[in-house]
A and B are shown apart, each in its own frame.
Chain A
Amino acid sequence: GNSVTQMEGPVTLSEEAFLTINCTYTATGYPSLFWYVQYPGEGLQLLLKATKADDKGSNKGFEATYRKETTSFHLEKGSVQVSDSAVYFCALSDRNNQGGKLIFGQGTELSVKP
Chain B
Amino acid sequence: DTAVSQTPKYLVTQMGNDKSIKCEQNLGHDTMYWYKQDSKKFLKIMFSYNNKELIINETVPNRFSPKSPDKAHLNLHINSLELGDSAVYFCASSQEGGGVYGYTFGSGTRLTVV
Which residue on chain A has the smallest CB distance to residue B90? Answer: A43
> In the complex the two chains form, is B105's CB within 8 Å of A45's CB?
yes
Would you call the interface of chain A mostly helix, strand, loop, or mixed? strand
A residues at B contact (CB < 8 Å): 32, 34, 36, 38, 42-46, 49, 51, 87, 89, 91, 93-95, 98-104, 106-107, 109
Chain B residue numbers with a CB within 8 Å of A102 are 45, 98, 102-103
With A99-B55, A99-B56 already in contact, the answer to whether A106 and B98 are too (CB < 8 A) is no
Chain A residue numbers with a CB within 8 Å of B92 are 44
Tell me, rounded to whole Å, the shortest Cβ–Cβ distance linking A59 to chain B: 12
Chain A residue numbers with a CB within 8 Å of B101 are 49
Complex Cα–Cα for A104 and B94 (A): 16
Q: Which positions 54-101 of chain B face chain A at CB distance < 8 Å? A: 55-56, 90, 92, 94, 96-101
A sample of 7 more A-B contacts (CB under 8 A), given A43-B105, A107-B43, is A43-B107, A46-B102, A98-B56, A99-B56, A100-B31, A102-B45, A106-B42
Chain B residue numbers with a CB within 8 Å of A49 are 101-102
Chain B residue numbers with a CB within 8 Å of A43 are 4, 90, 105-108
Task: Check if B48 is an interface residue, CB within 8 A of chain A.
Answer: yes
> In the complex the two chains form, is A101's CB within 8 Å of B41's CB?
no
Chain A residue numbers with a CB within 8 Å of B41 are 38, 87, 106-107, 109
Chain B residue numbers with a CB within 8 Å of A103 are 45
Which residue on chain B has the smallest CB distance to residue A89? Answer: B43
Tell me, rounded to whole Å, the shortest Cβ–Cβ distance linking B67 to chain A: 18
